Amino acid sequence: MGSGVRWIDLLDASRDELLAESPVDLHWSALEQLLAPPPERATARPTFDSHGDYVFGVLLVPVAVPEEDRLFYQEIDFVLTRDVTLTVRKTPHGEEPFSIQPVQAACDAHGFPSAGLVAYYLVDEVAERYLLLLDTVNDEIDELEAGIEIWPDAQVRRRLADLREDVLQIRRTLGPTRDAVRRVVDGRVDVGKDEIFDRPLELSFSDAYDKLLHAADSLDVARDLISSARDFHQSKISQDQNEVVKKLAVIASLLLLPTFIVGVYGQNFDHMPELHWRLGYAFSWAIIAATTVGQLVFYRWKRWI
């Protein structure tokens, strides 16, 4: 893997493997984090911390599965010294491990000069993953907006809930990742008197930081689009309900005059000439039909139906 620092990469490492490969005596908090099981959800907080003679970091890699409408995270912990880079990849049950081949290729192309450069390419890969993830989220929002008019209400509500949950999870991990990278850019993460992240490397980290800022802006836009889609869906529900109420009102009004006519001739008073008229039955039906047709013509003229 080139010259320079030695890179040790462990996948779902056991305690014995970790202790055997660790380049330094780890603080108990770092050891506990390294030995923690793969996250079912994004519970770990991304960070870059100086632990005296080494730098300890945690990154969460977002992975979207559009065909299954789900999002999960893979955790990468790392320990950096002047001469050794230790990475520990944690794979959730049933998922494919995060591939470090792009990071290895980029490091090999630069001669593998420093541990800080390994960390930079890891961070840059994570930043790219966030940008791709936000593109996927925006595509799903576009699909949702197109489907509001044709999908059943239950399906729309379910997609809205899923997207809101995804955006919330992304927000919980993207913000701490951005803050952790900012610590490196500001020169606040070093090993004693040594510089793992020299000034040129800090400038490289600023590029990854800009990508994370762009992802954060895209996340805000996605959240606004989801809110707009939710408002549009609610207005559509209200409009549909108004249409139902209007149709019911038309039906009720059409029945009002026939009910009145039937009520009048249903009183059965002795002195009602129409009751003994041979054409009275046909006459009452004619009045009912005429008033109903008249109402329909009037409602159509008013564009109420």
Q: Do residue 141 and residue 12 come from a single domain?
A: yes
DSSP single-letter state for residue 191: B
The CATH number that applies at residue 266 is: 1.20.58.340
- Enclosing domain of residue 257: 240-301
The pLDDT score that the predictor gives to residue 241 is 86
What beta strand segments (E) does the chain contain?
Answer: 6-11, 47-50, 55-65, 70-80, 84-90
Between 75 and 112, the higher pLDDT residue: 75
- Work out the pLDDT band at 279, boundaries 50, 70, 90: confident
pTM across the whole model: 0.78
The pLDDT score that the predictor gives to residue 1 is 47
Q: Do residue 75 and residue 223 come from a single domain?
A: yes
The pLDDT score that the predictor gives to residue 149 is 87
* HSE-up of residue 160 (Cα within 13 Å, Cβ side): 22
Q: Cβ–Cβ contacts within 10 Å for residue 180, how many?
A: 21
Cβ proximity of 97 and 11 under 8 Å: yes
Cβ proximity of 51 and 77 under 8 Å: no
Q: Do residue 120 and residue 251 come from a single domain?
A: no
198: exposed, middle or buried (C-beta count within 10 Å: 0-12, 13-18, 19+)?
middle
The CATH number that applies at residue 100 is: 3.30.460.20
Q: Do residue 193 and residue 173 come from a single domain?
A: yes
Tell me if 22 is assigned to some domain: yes
Q: Do residue 101 and residue 77 come from a single domain?
A: yes
Q: Which of 221, 238, 255 is the last residue of a domain?
A: 238
Question: Contacts by 143-152 with C-beta closer than 8 Å and gap 24+?
Answer: 144/229, 145/225, 145/229, 145/232, 148/229, 148/232, 148/233, 148/236, 149/236
Tokens of 230: 């939710």
Cβ proximity of 164 and 172 under 8 Å: no
Tell me if 1 is assigned to some domain: no
Q: Do residue 225 and residue 248 come from a single domain?
A: no
Greatest distance between any 2 Cα atoms in the chain: 117
Determine the Cα–Cα distance for residues 225 and 142; give it in Å rounded to an integer: 9
For residue 248, pLDDT over 70 is answered with yes
Between 63 and 229, the higher pLDDT residue: 229
For residue 23, pLDDT over 60 is answered with yes
Tell me if 130 is assigned to some domain: yes
Cβ proximity of 211 and 131 under 8 Å: yes
Cβ proximity of 57 and 47 under 8 Å: yes
Tokens of 166: 């995804």
Tokens of 27: 């603080």
SS (H, E, C) 162-184: HHHHHHHHHHHHHHHHHHHHHHH
Q: Do residue 263 and residue 122 come from a single domain?
A: no
For residue 101, pLDDT over 50 is answered with yes
Q: Do residue 208 and residue 288 come from a single domain?
A: no
The pLDDT score that the predictor gives to residue 239 is 85
Tell me if 93 is assigned to some domain: yes
Q: Cβ–Cβ contacts within 10 Å for residue 50, how many?
A: 16
Question: Which residue type occupies 2?
Answer: G
Q: Do residue 294 and residue 213 come from a single domain?
A: no
Chain CA centroid to CA 40, Å:
17
Q: Which of 238, 270, 289 is the last residue of a domain?
A: 238
Tell me if 178 is assigned to some domain: yes
Number of domains making up the chain: 2
21: exposed, middle or buried (C-beta count within 10 Å: 0-12, 13-18, 19+)?
middle
Summarize the confidence of residues 148-157 as an average pLDDT.
90
Tell me if 121 is assigned to some domain: yes
Q: What percent of the chain has pLDDT over 90?
A: 47
Across the chain, mean pLDDT equals: 88
For residue 3, pLDDT over 60 is answered with no
